Structure 1
């Protein structure tokens, strides 16, 4: 009996480690509500792509922030701008290799001229780009974060400083 429990536990753990990450694909209309949630949660929404070197370099900062505030009302969303058909051959292997822990989604909408300005009117469309918001308090960054810059930007919006 004890052996059966051990084997069952090992099987479950192995399945959890090899499970494919859930990476939904949205068009902008489906994705847009993630930019305007009016809850007690502070959202950090980062636009990136697997081919963008500055994006890749800053990804660990987002995961670190998410881990540091995992017990708080903070949500990190990593929005890949890779094409939807790259989900299985590129995006999922990439996030597994990089051990990305934050929620990843793909935003696949060819009408970028329309939706980019809906994210932020000042956005040129270059990535990486990040929106940090809590209710009506919002900041937009069209840049790559280094060192403590992301946390500093987050703390300007985050209402619970202690």
Structure 2
């Protein structure tokens, strides 16, 4: 099943190249800084999740994934509305190694992504997918909502709408029962 992620990644990359998206976007004006992209292994990501002392949304995406890039802007705007509650969005790129860091950073900059950027330095979806969620078949986009203080954890292996993101953040912020 996890071979599906590999096939999706490769087919998405081929489609992106066929549509002329293989080149980097034009450089942004000098006043903007290129976002930093942190490299992580799955164990590092697990530690980040386990040690989080604030509500956290982990969104898995790739530069060539149209549904991923459709949902990220409203993830960002919705998370911004909850800034006072300490909600953090982490965008975890599943792009191929040759996209790290320059192409991921340039793509994020050209799309005005402001959330923390991470590139998952893993190639075996059979290994890393179940470490995120046992039900993850490897498709993207997918998102993990976590609030360790209330023991809240919910995984979505599909694209979410803006109202769904808002509702999920509200659920994540509710006090523990």
Report the TM-score when normalising by structure 2: 0.75
Other structure's SS at 1:148 match: helix
RMSD, aligned CA:
1.7
Alignment of 1:1-162 (within 5 A): 17-39=31-53, 41-135=54-148, 136-159=151-174
Other structure's SS at 2:64 match: coil
Cα distance in 1 for partners of 2:57, 2:147 equals 9
Cα distance in 1 for partners of 2:52, 2:140 equals 25
Task: List runs of 5+ in structure 1 lacking aligned partners.
Answer: 1-13
Contact 1:25 1:84 in 2 (8 A): no
Cα distance in 2 for partners of 1:86, 1:74 equals 28
1:64-110 Cα shifts (integer Å, max 9, x gaps): 02211223211110101012320244211111111111111101201
Query: How many residue pairs were aligned?
Result: 145
Task: List runs of 5+ in structure 2 lacking aligned partners.
Answer: 1-28
| Alpha-carbon distance, 1:38 to partner | 4.8
Cα distance in 1 for partners of 2:117, 2:78 equals 15
Cα distance in 1 for partners of 2:69, 2:109 equals 13
Other structure's SS at 1:92 match: helix
